[in-house]
Structure 1
Amino acid sequence: MAELTGLAADLRADLAARGIDLDTGLRRRAEYSFDASNYRVPPLAVAFPRTVDDVVSIVRACTDRAVPITSRGGGTSLAGNAIGRGVVLDFSRHMAAVHSVDAAARTAVVEPGIVLTDLQKEVQLATDGAFTFAPDPSSKSRATVGGAIGNDACGNHSVRYGRTSDHVIALDLVTAGGHRLTATRNGVRATDPDDASAVAEAERIGTGLRDLADSHLAEFRLELGRIPRQVSGFHLANLLPENGFDVARALVGSEGTCAVIVAATVALVPVPPAAMLLCLGYRDLVDAARDNAMLLAYAPAAIEGIDSAIVDTMRHLRGADSVVGLPEGSAWLYVDLDGDDSAEVERRGAELVSKLRAAGRLVDARVVADPAERASLWRVREDGAGLSARLVEGGESWTGWEDSAVAPEQLADYLVDIKALLAEFHLTGVMYGHFGAGCMHIRINFDQRTEEGRDVMSRFIHRAAELCVRFGGSMSGEHGDGRARSSLLPLMYSPTVMSAFSRFKQLWDPATLLNPGSIVDPEPLLGSLALDGVDPRPWQTSFDLTPTSEVPVAPFVHAVQGCIGVGRCRASTGGVMCPSFRATGDEKDSTRGRARALQEMVRNSPTIADGWASEDVKESLDLCLSCKACSTDCPVGVDMATYKAEFLDHHYRGRIRPLSHYSLGWLPVWLRAAERSAPVVNKLTTGRLAKIAARLGGITPHRELPEFASRKQIRREVGSTSGNSTADVVLLADTFTRGFRPQVVGAAARVLEQAGLSSQCRSDACCGLTWISTGQLDRAKKTLTKAAELLDDGTDRPIVVLEPSCAAALRKDLPELVHTDAARRVAARVQSFAGAVLDHVAAGWQPSAALPEDVTVQTHCHEYAAFGAATQRKALQAVGVARVREATGCCGVAGNFGFENEHYDVSMQVAEQALAPALRATPDEAAVLTDGFSCHMQVRQLEPSRTSLHLAELLDPGRSRLFGSR
């Protein structure tokens, strides 16, 4: 370790002199020890190059010291080829530009760090929607072009568009020797023709590559490029004369083992003007695969398959309406048909369904015309890797034999045999994949934590590899070989071809410093497993994190290891997760980065060895807004807000806490005290003493503090409905509503009355949220225990909670912190106000209040997570609002976060992701809805002249104020 530390310090000093920051911190190394595979390899350091010159400097400095280099994009590799022991180059942070788009030539020149969906958007914008970049792997919302080139990624529409290698025209490279070369469709040349050393290097490599191809003509023709998804190994058939000595395409799929890609010229494809999605239901995936040949005869753009286990998990995580549009069946195919004419596409679809029905295997079929339904279905397929990792019934499944491919016409027979092999080893596999390309993804319930389990895993994978080879298949169909399959390549290729692979690598990288261990000279299949050697300590927690099925580790360890690295938290669009990463672009501030730090903590590894006392973990969690969006947006349901609360609780035991933990964390106590003298308190918090008070409480001076409600106001709104213990509904006036917006209580009571329901208002129960979010869990448990006792009244009356975050705390945190039957009964009765409105409309009620036609709604993150992403929008549509504009994203305040002095800037950056643009697009006369008090305060901060309402105020039959007025 001392030698490595000295080497890292020397390298860092060398690069610092050139203006390049090399991060050797323990926390950073922990974040980059993992990708989305089974493996863990701590790097020496991490670099974030900004320019090609930076890359050249880093490569030369590493080469001088024999330090390995691993190129990385989104870090979503499932094969372990985005981690390494030397310096990791993360291109996603700064080298993510589109240099040019040429619609006439149908090309784009891009940097390696650009995310695929971002590239597609820029191309479509530059070409008025006429063209796009075709490769669309399921991870496209966070995977980068460089990663797609490294793995030769394919995607859902590869039946039509092939692999990334089919769309690469040229690659700008930095070689292991620090030379800048360009690989093209007919050779390799110096990027700068005036660079004599680069010219000489290009000539050396070019001559060696021609000699390699000339001496292996037969082997390359017979063993390579046999099926559409033959991704394993190097793609040396592209060097054959009949393929034009295509060096660029030969390098695609080389997994960063030959050169560092710093730019790519890629081909663009036209966007078909007409398209339709057929969803086909089958009894099982084997039956679905039997229809492959019939489907392929209709030239579809995509044939994708999923099974019921994945669908059930999605519905469990995100609600029953998260998957809509499926026909009957237990396995489904999505078939995309497209063309130039809508009528012709519809005719082909109808004819195809008719033939499938006649064949007898199809259970049901439907055309999915609604865009929302299509998005819902594709979301299930795209989240398959995560959804299959932690299924509804619990347990764990892992990669290992995840990415095999056979000829499409052999897929059904291959699935029969692979299922039989799973049964022989008493293993369960969850299957999904690219049926039209013959590529299957299978996540298997391997036990990687025990010696016996690892032995079973090794023997199964070797048998599966032999089976795949017997079918003439490829062990990797799109994710590359990496650490997962490279050692198995001799089963698939002859010694002669394996020797050619080694020669190809040696020509580019003589010192074997680029991503060593992949494809050539591989590391052992089960070496560096992330689950091997985890600290067995119990890790006692306040939250009940016990999984639904037995696992051989502590519940907290199992929970934090739920993150498998798929990286959806790094997506810049869609859902809410992860607002802090979207603000900073730093892996540290992603849900994944935080989970990796926690995973290192529970390993008690040299990287993070201080347990609950770790300052590195605290830093990693610092910008987590505790929005809870990850608990539903993350395909494996990682709940970082809960893990953060647990960590802070342990971390600060016996320590002085931040000031905001005492001011904002104990807000329910201060509010009860403040109501007695609210006028005086309000003068202090709005006058000259406001900044002093803010500083003393650790609160930012940049925010206007809310006015505290007086006892008189509270009695007027709350007291009149507090006595009816036989009422139909319990209306909970939570701490925030009672203390800052008591008028909402009166409005809600009137709405319920107009709906024909009597209500009993309770303001004596607190959800403990402020203590939970600041990690003061002993106090939180006491508060919640009392709340459960007060609200468990022997009835099953709905408990309607006006503040969404309080409703979510009572629904989810109450039973996890208070392990009593009373707590579970109360949690089951809790509703948000929007959820109650939906129920009443379904029963036939409609509000009498005149409603605006146009409403902008900021859905509170906790309501989004605990009660459904669309609850607010559905409630507004149900009561007849014509136009609902959603600000889908965290408002940025998130309870105490946005009021804390050190978090104000990030809070405002988060607001710009959704809320601020939505407000700018909202006409003055439109209504703005903010059921969450945090969201309400952020609207006041962004647009002080604009009024925002609670849904109860909007529906209040006694409402008199005008929309758009203060």
Structure 2
Amino acid sequence: MTDTTTALEPLVARLAETASGLRVETGPGSTGLYAYDASNYRVPPRAVVFPRSADDVVAVLRACRETGIPVTARGGGTSMAGNAVGPGVVLDFSRYMNRILDIDPVTLTARVEAGVILDALRSATALHGLTFGPDPSSHSRCTIGGMIGNDACGNRSVRHGRTSGHIEALEIVTADGVRAVADRTGLRAADPEDRDAVQRVAGLEADLRRLIDANLALLRTELGRIPRQVSGYQLHHLLPEHGFDMARALVGTEGSCAVVTAATVRLVATAQASTLLTLGYDDVVDAAEDVPEILRWNPTAVEGMDEAIVATMRARRGPDSVTGLPEGRAWLYVELDGDDQDAVDARATELLGVLKARGRMTGGRVVHSPAERRSLWRVREDGAGLAARLVDGGESWPGWEDAAVAPEDLAAYLRDFRKLLTAHSLTGVLYGHFGAGCVHVRIDFDLATDAGRTATRRFLSEAAALVVEHGGTLSGEHGDGRARGELLEVMYSHRMIQAFAAFKEIFDPEGLLNPGVIVAPARLDADLALHTPSDVLPVESLFSFPHDEDGFAGAVRRCVGVGRCRSDAGGVMCPSYRATGEENDSTRGRARLLQEMVRGGTVQDGWRSTEVRDALDLCLSCKACSSDCPVGVDMATYKAEFLHQHYKGRVRPRSHYSLGWLPLTSKLVGYAARPVNALLRGPVGKLLARLGGVTTKRNIPAFASRHALRRALRTARTGEPAKTLLFVDSFTRAFRPEVAGAASRVLADAGIPCTAEDDLCCGLTWVSTGQLSRARRIMARTVARLDNGDDRPIVVAEPSCAAALKRDVPELLGTDAARRVAARVHTLTGALTDLAAPGWAPPELPDNVVLQTHCHEYATFKGRHPRDLLGRLGVRKVDEAEGCCGLAGNFGFEEQHYDTSMAVADLALKPRLDDMDPRTAAVVVADGFSCATQIDHLAGDRGIRALHLAELLDPAADRPGQPGENS
């Protein structure tokens, strides 16, 4: 094969000739991102290409064949077996080839491009009462092409089986650049007028038929033995009795035989009624023993998981993030469906009674609440990520995460598999599709040392032998990839391995398509991503990263690639990815580049890397990933650390000075607020904004005088003994002192009167701009003042400053005093939830509220959200604009970030505001100063103004319940 280093330049030149406008990326800022998927492997490509059409794919494959460069097709990059990484060109279909071409509700089919996200297809087909049956847990970011690549299944595979059962036709491009269609009866050229293509495809089909005819008995005896037998190629679909179903035969080939550009898929009707049972057990083996009985009841899903996943979810997102589970240390989710809800509920109750009589359950219940069901399903769907980094900090890895047996053999297999783990002194976190006999497990392999890798090889070989002994398969849905390809010879005869090789050679004689996968596989311990500790970049970070054993290096290693940050809906992360759709603007993309920086891989400039700096540039530091990411990646903290190291001893961007030092400058401005505000409203203000790197498209908020806060607090004094301390942050002090007064009155009204501390700073603006040395000095002063023997709760009206005190201060200072102060911090929402007098009720509230929750409050103060408090206080409808407002502190004020800021606002906040009529609208509540400022920018000219929660609840305020009073 031609050396890819010398061949890259001719490839790029050839593509420029044959595919004008094709986006080709060759720099480390792109190749570093695509060196990983969600597996244990790292294979840096030479180039990443983003095709927009099948013609682009033809051009790429022809150019790669001319230059001898291999090609790997990629969807969402969530492959867990190393299926979506390769050494040559990576084709990312998710960026542009993501169109739904047709939906036909009469024939129950849809035609889609390979890069269509599953949830996008399901949303479109839901309008017709239809859906696509297979539903892997990665449904919010996996692509149809990726599902075809590894024959994905999902939580409801008991009912709907594998992707291959739902494919009518595939539109493919062969290794030599010929377009063809594979359907249920064979293979044909896409263009019947292209004689060369017709002849080439006819030759392919003839060769394939000869291969099948020569191996009839072999295919009938070794393939298709159990429902989840995904390993190898599914050549039995080409048997005469199956009609030479070429479409199904190519599903699960992992892009190693042809590149799929589009597919015609079969749809199924959406159930009219469904219900969920949660069943508790002492362990997963007991749960598996009940599976055969449950299957008799025709469920849509039978999912299992163990206690480690639930404990991690509760630790990461709060104790209320998992409700509805009965007592136990392992659980089954059982979903039943039908046409009538009462009938479905009756069946569920009857099944529960049967299972109780069997005596294995520790408890069980029917979950009627839709919200509770969604919460429970989220635990299961985040299983891969939650199992990767557990509550005790332990790491676990895929590699043997996908074996399957017949469901009736599951309990026996699990019993023996756990013995095997014990014999190798390994711990596995178990979950999976128990109703289909498919077990996912992440194991605490030591992949960072030679001895650990040797031990891992030994375990995997024995595990392969064990599952085969139980009549099972190495892969039940994730595919073989690099993780299991080498082990196929344990499962299949030598003749079958030869048949697989012959099948690939017919399609890809030069071995250019996804090399190292299934046929001529790479060693399973080659190209492992986990670096040894001696390989890492020397790091003396200012943040302590207390939850990560290897400090900064261990923290960025948290990302295992499951890609939840690439979701378009649900949760808050990642706003910049949702706005741009670019991998390097996702939490995963940034984490992967940081991993490359730490290991000195494709990124070789360490802390001075411009590639990492550019990837982090559009991170809004919203902190949502620290909560929404299943493994707890905290990109805001990583960015702050990187900026500190990157600019150490160097001149910084202008906005770091103008906005980072805002607490100090605002204090000075307070002495002359009126003339300064007048100056800033004129031409001089625009000039100063430009000089400070601040956008001129926004109005600079008016500064408050130094006397305004004194007046606000003076009117709030109650004379009662103070039970809390109100920390008046820099934003409240400088721009909206009236909030401090309102907060003081609300706390008194709630039975927790306060005294105010108004001369301290949390250091947030210096943290967000990476000026960590200065931030530490400010934080140390603040902690010294607050940790003075006073143990009163600290209430902070500004959520971002509350989050900084709660999390950044202890992680930057690392002292007991800092941790004591952090333990006392509450948002106003938290204080009213946890500390208010029993029976406290505020004055009359409006019926409807539009809510913008600050991202830092969402991420840091789990289970203490304004939405829940408002509901408890009597607001009938809380319409939450779920997601970031887009301003995000200094981010949206910086000149170069204005457009992204507005694009983020367009995702959730702006549509809510656009739908409002200020004469009749609900009240808008936004505690964050950034959020309120963004709302004013978006809708202030229509008379819409955001209230702080304190202003809404203020017993001294005019009630905003009447139309128009919020303006």
TM-score range, shorter chain: over 0.9
1:718-740, CA deviations, whole angstroms, 9 ceiling, x for partnerless residues? 35669989610101110001110
Instruction: Tell me the number of residue pairs that the alignment of Structure 1 and Structure 2 aligns.
Output: 957
Which of 556, 561, 574 matches 2:570?
574
The alpha-carbon distance between structure 1 residues 66 and 3, as it changes in their structure 2 partners (threshold 3 A), is closer
Aligned to 1:41: 43
> Equivalences for 1:241-320 in 2 at 5 Å?
241-320=240-319
Q: Distance in 1 between matches of 2:347 and 2:163?
A: 28
Which of 880, 898, 903 matches 2:874?
880
* SS of residue in 1 equivalent to 2:388: coil
Q: Distance in 2 between matches of 1:367 and 1:618?
A: 50
Q: Distance in 2 between matches of 1:684 and 1:281?
A: 67
Compute the displacement of 1:5 (Å). 4.4
The alpha-carbon distance between structure 1 residues 189 and 388, as it changes in their structure 2 partners (threshold 3 A), is same
1:112–1:144: 8 Å Cα contact kept in structure 2? yes
* SS of residue in 1 equivalent to 2:32: helix
TM-score, normalised to structure 1's length? 0.98
Aligned to 1:435: 434
Aligned to 2:512: 513
Which of 910, 931, 955 matches 1:916?
910
1:725–1:760: 8 Å Cα contact kept in structure 2? no
Aligned to 1:595: 591
> Equivalences for 1:371-410 in 2 at 5 Å?
371-410=370-409
TM-score, normalised to structure 2's length? 0.98
Moved more, 819-828 or 161-170: 819-828
Q: Distance in 1 between matches of 2:667 and 2:949?
A: 25
The alpha-carbon distance between structure 1 residues 719 and 782, as it changes in their structure 2 partners (threshold 3 A), is farther
Which of 958, 961, 965 matches 1:960?
958
2:277–2:333: 8 Å Cα contact kept in structure 1? yes
Compute the displacement of 1:205 (Å). 1.1
The alpha-carbon distance between structure 1 residues 896 and 725, as it changes in their structure 2 partners (threshold 3 A), is farther
Q: Distance in 1 between matches of 2:220 and 2:837?
A: 65
Which of 935, 947, 950 matches 2:948?
950
Aligned to 1:21: 23
2:625–2:632: 8 Å Cα contact kept in structure 1? yes
Compute the displacement of 1:881 (Å). 0.7
* SS of residue in 1 equivalent to 2:35: coil
Aligned to 1:940: 936
Which of 113, 116, 131 matches 1:114?
116
The alpha-carbon distance between structure 1 residues 190 and 842, as it changes in their structure 2 partners (threshold 3 A), is farther
Q: Distance in 1 between matches of 2:452 and 2:560?
A: 19
Q: Distance in 2 between matches of 1:753 and 1:271?
A: 52
Amino acid at match of 1:9: E
Moved more, 861-870 or 453-462: 861-870
* SS of residue in 2 equivalent to 1:231: coil
The alpha-carbon distance between structure 1 residues 722 and 31, as it changes in their structure 2 partners (threshold 3 A), is farther
2:403–2:438: 8 Å Cα contact kept in structure 1? yes
Are 2:924 and 1:928 equivalent residues in the alignment? yes
Aligned to 1:714: 709
Q: Distance in 2 between matches of 1:664 and 1:489?
A: 58
Which of 663, 679, 695 matches 1:668?
663
1:718–1:733: 8 Å Cα contact kept in structure 2? no
Aligned to 2:9: 9
1:404–1:440: 8 Å Cα contact kept in structure 2? yes
1:434–1:440: 8 Å Cα contact kept in structure 2? yes
Compute the displacement of 1:921 (Å). 3.0
Gaps of 5+ in 1: none
Aligned to 2:541: 541
Aligned to 1:167: 166
Aligned to 1:653: 648
1:838–1:874: 8 Å Cα contact kept in structure 2? no
Compute the displacement of 1:208 (Å). 1.2
> Equivalences for 1:795-874 in 2 at 5 Å?
795-840=790-835, 843-847=838-842, 849-868=843-862, 871-874=865-868
2:536–2:553: 8 Å Cα contact kept in structure 1? no
Compute the displacement of 1:900 (Å). 0.2
The alpha-carbon distance between structure 1 residues 93 and 869, as it changes in their structure 2 partners (threshold 3 A), is farther
Compute the displacement of 1:869 (Å). 6.3
Aligned to 1:58: 60
Q: Distance in 2 between matches of 1:2 and 1:705?
A: 58
* SS of residue in 2 equivalent to 1:660: helix
2:320–2:863: 8 Å Cα contact kept in structure 1? no
Q: Distance in 2 between matches of 1:148 and 1:299?
A: 25
Q: Distance in 2 between matches of 1:533 and 1:362?
A: 44
1:477-508, CA deviations, whole angstroms, 9 ceiling, x for partnerless residues? 00000000000000000111111100110111
Q: Distance in 2 between matches of 1:841 and 1:53?
A: 65
Amino acid at match of 2:857: E
Q: Distance in 1 between matches of 2:353 and 2:497?
A: 48
RMSD of equivalent CA atoms: 1.5
* SS of residue in 1 equivalent to 2:149: helix
Are 2:747 and 1:749 equivalent residues in the alignment? no
2:117–2:140: 8 Å Cα contact kept in structure 1? yes
Amino acid at match of 1:566: V
2:717–2:745: 8 Å Cα contact kept in structure 1? no
2:61–2:176: 8 Å Cα contact kept in structure 1? yes
Amino acid at match of 2:944: R
Compute the displacement of 1:756 (Å). 2.3
Q: Distance in 2 between matches of 1:914 and 1:754?
A: 33
2:952–2:959: 8 Å Cα contact kept in structure 1? no
Q: Distance in 2 between matches of 1:219 and 1:6?
A: 43
Aligned to 1:97: 99
Q: Distance in 2 between matches of 1:887 and 1:644?
A: 26
> Equivalences for 1:409-488 in 2 at 5 Å?
409-488=408-487
Gaps of 5+ in 2: none
Moved more, 200-209 or 714-723: 714-723
1:145-191, CA deviations, whole angstroms, 9 ceiling, x for partnerless residues? 00000000000000000000000000000101110000000100011
1:755–1:845: 8 Å Cα contact kept in structure 2? yes
Amino acid at match of 1:857: L
1:275–1:339: 8 Å Cα contact kept in structure 2? yes
> Equivalences for 1:189-204 in 2 at 5 Å?
189-204=188-203
Q: Distance in 2 between matches of 1:2 and 1:886?
A: 56
> Equivalences for 1:619-638 in 2 at 5 Å?
619-638=614-633
2:38–2:81: 8 Å Cα contact kept in structure 1? yes
Are 2:865 and 1:907 equivalent residues in the alignment? no
Q: Distance in 2 between matches of 1:905 and 1:113?
A: 26
2:716–2:742: 8 Å Cα contact kept in structure 1? no
2:405–2:467: 8 Å Cα contact kept in structure 1? yes
Are 2:148 and 1:153 equivalent residues in the alignment? no
Q: Distance in 2 between matches of 1:842 and 1:402?
A: 50
1:722–1:761: 8 Å Cα contact kept in structure 2? no
1:94-151, CA deviations, whole angstroms, 9 ceiling, x for partnerless residues? 00011000000000000000110111001112x1xx2101110011100000000000
Identity %, equivalent residues: 57
Q: Distance in 2 between matches of 1:725 and 1:862?
A: 32
Are 2:734 and 1:739 equivalent residues in the alignment? yes
Compute the displacement of 1:363 (Å). 1.1
Compute the displacement of 1:711 (Å). 1.4
1:857-881, CA deviations, whole angstroms, 9 ceiling, x for partnerless residues? 0000000000126611011112111
* SS of residue in 2 equivalent to 1:361: coil
* SS of residue in 1 equivalent to 2:440: strand
The alpha-carbon distance between structure 1 residues 433 and 314, as it changes in their structure 2 partners (threshold 3 A), is same
Moved more, 528-537 or 828-837: 528-537
Q: Distance in 1 between matches of 2:631 and 2:661?
A: 32
Amino acid at match of 1:620: A
The alpha-carbon distance between structure 1 residues 560 and 423, as it changes in their structure 2 partners (threshold 3 A), is same
The alpha-carbon distance between structure 1 residues 545 and 840, as it changes in their structure 2 partners (threshold 3 A), is closer
Q: Distance in 2 between matches of 1:720 and 1:448?
A: 63
Q: Distance in 2 between matches of 1:255 and 1:3?
A: 24
1:375-428, CA deviations, whole angstroms, 9 ceiling, x for partnerless residues? 100000000000001000112100111100000001001001010000001000
Amino acid at match of 2:874: G
The alpha-carbon distance between structure 1 residues 714 and 532, as it changes in their structure 2 partners (threshold 3 A), is closer
Q: Distance in 2 between matches of 1:79 and 1:614?
A: 30
